[in-house]
Each structure stands twice: as structure tokens, then as C-alpha cells.
Amino acid sequence: GAGVQASPAAQWLGVKADRAGRTEVGPHLHIPEDPNIFVIGDTASVQQADGKTVPGIAPAAKQQGDHVAKVIKARLTGKAEPAPFKYVHKGNLATIGKRAAVIDFGKIKLKGVIAWWIWGLAHIYFLIGTRSRLAVAWSWLWIYLSGQHSARLITQRDTLKDEAQPVGKTL
């Protein structure tokens, strides 16, 4: 929502784009001009049955990727293609500050610390591999309990120390 612009894939391909610049695709997520060129994620403009466009968010892109894989597999094995793509929205999770989040699962809506914990658990759950899950969970637990980040970044020089220290000498 902060000025994100669609990929210029529609221009590259010389095909129709929606007003946001996303490539318009058919029900199996390929461009109408060539059934072998698929476009997914926030680069694609996918119309749902109700006329609304599928949102350009990661869960939608993952579902689109799964669908395209099924289409390609069906073509390679000579089987019938699956039913047209249908996006299933499973809800929204967003952090809104330190130890605060909002959750909207349709009938279930939460905000605050409990929502923040659920947000964290959901993000850890969707990481690939047990090692990644453990590393992120440990890092986040350390930050939560100690208030200290597990990594430090130096973003600028300390000019007062540099000016006070004579050149060529160490303290």
C-alpha cells in the first residue's frame, strides 16, 4: 500500500494489463495469447467469479503457483486440466506495533498481544524446514525475553569518538 508498482511483465510480453499494470490472465493463469506463458502473484490480474481481482499477497501467489503446477503436470501426463483457478482467502494477519497485531479470519477478529502471538506462530509454521523454524523461534524468543536483538547493525559512525581519537594511535 505504499506505492508498490506492478512488474512491467505485460509490457515485456506485449499483452493487455489492468489499470494497475498487472498482466491480465485467463482462468488457468496463462496469458490469452499463449497458453504456455503463465503469470502469477502480484504481477497477474486474476478475476474471481464474483468479479473481484485476486489480491497481490503471498497466500494468493502460493495458491496460484500450486494451480499452475497442476496444470503443467496434467499437460505433461496427458490428463485433463484441473478446474479453473479459485482463490480461497484464509484471513489476514498484520503486526501493528511492538507486541501488537490484528487478525481477521472472517468471523474471528482479534487485536493486541494474543493476535501478535498467533501472528508469530503462523509465520513460524509457514517457514520451510524444521531448522528454519527453530532458528527463527529461538531468535524471536530471545528478543522477547531479553529485549535485545540477536544481531546488531552499525548504521553510522560515532563522530564524537572519531574526533576525539588522534589519527594513527589506538586507545
| CB 10 within 8 Å of CB 17 | yes
Specify the pTM. Answer: 0.69
Burial of 2 (0-12, 13-18, 19+ CB in 10 A): exposed
pLDDT at 140 > cutoff 70: yes
pLDDT digits (tens, 9 = 90+) for 1-18: 455 677 888 999 999 999
**Mean pLDDT score of the chain, rounded to an integer?**
85
pLDDT at 171 > cutoff 60: no
Which CATH number is 9-77's, of 3.50.50.60, 3.40.50.720, 3.40.50.11860, 1.10.10.410?
3.50.50.60
For residue 47, the 8-state DSSP code is B
Ranges of CATH 3.50.50.60 domains, the chain: 9-77
**Beta carbons within 8 Å of 38's beta carbon, 6+ residues apart:** 25, 28, 29, 30, 68, 71
pLDDT at 37 > cutoff 90: yes
CA distance 10 to 7: 8
